Structure 1
Amino acid sequence: MEVYDEAYALAKALSQCQAVKDYENAKSKLDEKAKQILIDYRKRQIALQKKQLSGEKPDELEVKRLQHLASLVAMHPSLHKIVEAEARISMIIADVQKIIAGAVQNLFLDEIGEIDWTSIYNQVRRS
């Protein structure tokens, strides 16, 4: 089977895995208020991460607002399940990327020797 065929099969398997089903199930149970909480939480989370990545110190009020929203998310059953499922999906994708990169890492050499793809991946992921 061609590599692309395998990739499509993997994509299908991912879309049918339990974490994705859990995510979709929890998302279907959200009311408008919960959706707005999640949207606000995501926006503030991204804004805070951008500041941190650019070397800015986050405003204390912003941090407290994000912490408050995080506690609302944690207390709301469907929101909590969404965040939990997202984390599981991200972990699955990261694991698959490591497996794929591991299959070809010996093919790529830099001037010094072998490239440590795991370290590079972890650095990029933190960014």
Structure 2
Amino acid sequence: MRPEEVSVFPVGEKNVAFGQYFVGQSYLNMLTTQGVAIGNVTFEPGCRNNWHIHHAKSGGGQILLCTAGRGYYQEWGQAPRELHPGDVVVIPPEVKHWHGAAPDSWFAHLAVEVPGEETSNQWLEAVSEEEYRNLK
């Protein structure tokens, strides 16, 4: 499968700006940065982002609208959740988590940044190979 066949939204360029926070290759196409930032994030098979936290004094967090392929979302201390097109993940602020593609599938989601006060992202350690290999 070619990247442009993954989603109805344009895949965009290789995600160089945030590449250090991913294991594997991802692509980013910011659909809008006005009002509410929405990015189409596409993951090659096996690609996932590091554990991270969306901080906010009030409001904030992130919503993932899954559009293509098969992926995973996991909160710290919880079991991973398998994701498919049409799934919605609401991530409250201050929750440590990661998301990305299944080992054998491309995956795409729209990442919606929930507006808030004093928002920031804290990027943490990579998801270990052992944790990732143990996904169903």
TM-score norm. by structure 2 comes to 0.23
- Which is helix-richer, 1 or 2? 1
TM-score normalized by the length of structure 1: 0.24
Higher fraction of strand: 2
